[in-house]
Amino acid sequence: MTTPLSLGVLISGGGTNLQAIIDAIERGDLPARIRIVVSNRRDAYGLVRAARHGLSTGVIAHTDFASREEFDRHLVTLLHEHGVELVILAGFMRLLSARFIRAFPHRILNIHPALLPAFPGLHAQRQALERGVRISGATVHLVDEEMDHGPIIMQAAVPVYPDDTEDSLSARILAQEHRIYPAAIKLFAEGRVGVRGNSVLIRDEHHRPQTGFQSPAAV
């Protein structure tokens, strides 16, 4: 029995990805423990989700700090005090300083609602609709000092339809986020992730289906 991986989850809002991770742990599908949930916003509903499951929570309002570095220094201390081994950004809407990233080298994950490197930054779903792509999706990646740029761990694709709205596409992508985030964290918990340059290597990645999917499906 491996020791559960200690997670620190950073949120800013609704926390549906946090909920998916909590549910995976409680189902026994993810050998990890959430040591603390930290939000930079006091009103984040994800804090309610965390408290409902008896998890430690903290609020570090960035407005309480003179600088990003000061905010990050306090956040690093809090995470280290809770023995966090892997930092999970789950709807966390702050850019992290180089100092923070150096404190957790190759140990910070983020989920982005697009197939990176396509559509980095904010409103990725809207960018996809405006570009008229027929396939988009979600990406779990390691965080480096550039936004939405680090080595990619896992991706999931969804069809995009001409009558999609930002809401309908976001909902379709979010359902995949809730699937792949716990799965990607599990790879870390099992010690199966290695990084070489900008590529992630997964040990024992044997299952290699060759099927793809097209969109539009039937023309």
**Closest to ligand GRF by CB, 35 or 172:** 172
Size of the site for ligand GRF (CB under 6 A): 14
Q: Which of 111, 152, 184, 200 binds ligand GRF (CB under 6 A)?
A: 111
| Segment 176 to 215, residues that bind ligand GRF, using CB under 6 A | 177
Q: Does 90 bind ligand GRF (CB under 6 A)?
A: yes
Q: Does 158 bind ligand GRF (CB under 6 A)?
A: no
Q: Which stretch binds ligand GRF (CB under 6 A): 10-18, 55-63, 68-76, 128-136?
A: 10-18
**Residues 6 or more apart from 204 whose CB is under 8 A from it?**
192
Amino acid at 129: L
Q: Is 207 a catalytic residue?
A: no
**Closest to ligand GRF by CB, 17 or 57:** 17
Residue 29 backbone class (left: φ over 0; alpha: ψ -120 to 50; beta: rest): alpha
Q: Which stretch binds ligand GRF (CB under 6 A): 34-42, 65-73, 106-114, 182-190?
A: 106-114
x/- letters, 112..141, toward ligand GRF (CB under 6 A): xx----------------------------
CB of residue 138 vs ligand GRF: minimum separation in angstroms? 6
Q: Are 200 and 142 in contact (CB under 8 A)?
A: yes
Q: Does 174 bind ligand GRF (CB under 6 A)?
A: yes
Residues involved in catalysis: 112
Give residues in contact with ligand GRF (CB under 6 A). Answer: 11, 13-18, 90-91, 111-113, 174, 177
